[in-house]
Amino acid sequence: MLALLMSVAALLLGAGLLNAGNGVFTTFLSVRMSLEGFPTEVTGLVMTAYYVGLAVGTRLSDRIINRVGHIRAFAAFVALASATVLIAAFFVSPYVWGAMRGVLGFCFAGLFMIVESWLNTRATTATRGRLFSSYMMLSYLSLGGGQLLLNVRDPRGNDFFLIGVLFYCLAALPVSLTSSMSPSPVRTSRLGLRTLYRISPLGILACIGSGLANSALYGMGPVFAHGSGFSLAETSYFMGAAVLSGLLLQYPVGRLSDRYDRRAVIIAVVLLSAAASVGLVLLTGQDKLALVALVCVYGGFSFTLYPLGVSHANDFLDAKDAVKAAGGLILAWGMGASVGPLAASAIMGVLGPRGLFVFVAAVDIVLAIFALWRMTRRPTVPAQAKGAFTPRGGMTPVGAEAAKAHHAEEPEPVA
């Protein structure tokens, strides 16, 4: 396993730098818009643009990868992302920043697809789970660690535009200079949302709910923290704690869902997330330490929802349809993510910062009610008939389609 990790070390380093840069830049931009006095609803629109770009990128970026190859496509996406951020630094405009966010979403869809499909070509059935677990641990650590960089400079200036570009450019170096052979072209196919809903209504709704709730946290969490009296450094700790906690419960929750009715585990997860959200609503603007503790509880449970939804859907799919289903499940997540920050910001515009977690709690409660109803409509899947739970990152489900496409062929690692 160590030899396998060393063989993809350059790729993992590039992915870590991308996530660190994206983490600090996303939080910075949300804080900067608050400092500029942008209405909360405008901030929500700008933050939503990233997920719109991400959804578009999942549909189009594979064509670019197939045309020029993984390494050249990686360099091209990094160059476009960097140039877009630098252009945006010259303007204090929600229109320019919204367009920039949309382009970044498109670029990162391609970048994550490249990374995750590449990792799959290096793995076998015996090593795939451990390799992707290592990748997801790195993703959470770098994304959460990036949040902590927010306090190193004044967000009122343009320093963080340059810091974001610095991370993106550094990420291109190890990938461009690697001696590893790049993968074959990515092959994708999809089952439509209607078909997937007929197969697994709760699986689709869980993916949509995960996109709604977690994109709202990523996009509007810094606004919540700033409006709750957190300083800049404290805002970075708040967001860092939320993201890093997402790593802690992936395997315990996944193990439970493999042994028991996955729907019951989904209900428990969303109700515990809702309870943490209610606590955050009640303590908004009061005890900062309690807010950080509660957002850790929220992140720990909420970030397991997407892989639970994917795993539940796959319990009802034939093995031959897993590849086709992946794209539809990603699209469901993207649909939710494209609405989450906008919907949360609209509620925050009425209720203030606490509106973020009012929105999140509402999403969780609706999903719990739907899951309870589904338990009356169909019996549980026997444990021996289930597919294995696969942990996935809250920000990187876009690569799963490419991953599943390569998984279908079970290639041996490339020497």
- What would the pLDDT profile of 324-362 be if each residue is shown by its tens digit? 676 677 788 888 988 999 999 999 999 999 999 999 999
Q: pLDDT value at position 375?
A: 87
Tell me which residue of 45, 25, 152 sits closest to 86, measured CA to CA: 25
Q: Which carries the bigger pLDDT value, residue 112 or residue 164?
A: 164
Q: What is the mean pLDDT of residues 372-400?
A: 62
- In this structure, of 109-123, 180-194, 324-338, the range with the lowest mean pLDDT score is 180-194
Q: What is the pLDDT of residues 24-51, one digit of tens each?
A: 898 899 989 988 989 999 999 999 999 8
Q: What is the mean pLDDT of residues 269-298?
A: 94
Per-residue pLDDT, 390: 57
* % of residues, the chain, pLDDT over 90: 39
Please, which pLDDT band fits residue 402 given cuts at 50, 70 and 90?
Answer: very low
Give pLDDT, residue 261.
85
Smallest CA-to-CA distance from 367 within 219, 253, 210 is with 210
What is the average per-residue pLDDT within 71-81?
A: 93
Residue 413 is which amino acid? P
Residue 116 vs residue 392, higher pLDDT: 116
pLDDT at 112: 84
Residue 410 CA to residue 387 CA, distance in Å, equals 17
Separation between Cα atoms, residue 396 and residue 380, nearest integer Å:
29
User: For position 347, what pLDDT does the model report?
Assistant: 95
Cα separation of 363 and 312, whole Å?
Answer: 19
Residue 90 has pLDDT above 80, yes or no: yes
Predicted confidence (pLDDT) at residue 198 exceeds the cutoff of 80: yes
Residues contacting residue 405 through CB under 8 Å, at least 6 positions apart: 117, 186, 187, 188, 189, 323, 326
pLDDT at 127: 66
Mean pLDDT check: name the lowest of 8-12, 95-99, 100-104, 296-300. Answer: 8-12
pLDDT band at 415 (very low <50, low <70, confident <90, very high): very low
Burial class (CB in 10 A: 0-12, 13-18, 19+), 125: exposed
Q: What is 2-179+188-407's CATH number?
A: 1.20.1250.20
pLDDT at residue 409 is higher than 50 = no
Model pTM score: 0.80
**Is the torsion defined by CA of 405, 410, 412, 413 positive or negative?**
positive
Asked if residues 408 and 322 have their Cβ atoms less than 8 Å apart, the reply is yes
Task: Give residue 11's pLDDT.
Answer: 85
Average pLDDT, the chain: 83
Residue scoring higher pLDDT (379 or 93) = 93
pLDDT at 271: 96
Length of the chain: 415
Above 70 in pLDDT, residue 125?
Answer: no
- Dig out the tokens for 263 from the structure: 């729907």
